[in-house]
Amino acid sequence: NAGVMQNPRHLVRRRGQEARLRCSPMKGHSHVYWYRQLPEEGLKFMVYLQKENIIDESGMPKERFSAEFPKEGPSILRIQQVVRGDSAAYFCASSLRTDSSGNTIYFGEGSWLTVV
């Protein structure tokens, strides 16, 4: 399944370190989204990106979190100075287009971040 690819699948970081999560969208998809799933909670939207542009970052914490989707290469979600509350599953998703006919987004398998 050449779906949305995320790595690493599991990441352990000590408090204060940086976490970088990578996402390669499905082939041909140019829209990327990041969601976070905290333990026992549903998925929460974080950010929506297109190539070289952040379209909607209304769900991103104001500090320590950033995302990019460069012209070449995967999308990166970066968390600086991680704290225990950042421990969660981070899911990347992609879509082909955003009009009604293509309004289906496909999720990757997730990256599980544990902060110790």
Partner 1 sequence: QKEVEQDPGPLSVPEGAIVSLNCTYSNSAFQYFMWYRQYSRKGPELLMYTYSSGNKEDGRFTAQVDKSSKYISLFIRDSQPSDSATYLCAMSVQAAGNKLTFGGGTRVLVKP
Note the residues at the interface with partner 1 (CB under 8 A). Answer: 4, 31, 33, 35, 40-45, 48, 55-56, 58-59, 91, 93, 95, 98-100, 102-110, 112
Nearer to partner 1, 39 or 85 (CB): 39
Quote the Cα angle for 29-73-115, to 5°.
Answer: 100
Tokens of 58: 């209304």
Smallest separation, CB 60 to partner 1 (Å):
12
Residue 90 backbone dihedrals phi, psi, to 5 degrees:
-110, 120
Smallest separation, CB 17 to partner 1 (Å):
23
Nearer to partner 1, 55 or 116 (CB): 55
Instruction: Report the relative pairing of strands 10-13 and 111-115 from DSSP bridges.
Output: parallel
Are 110 and 8 in contact, with CB atoms under 8 Å apart?
no
Smallest separation, CB 48 to partner 1 (Å):
6
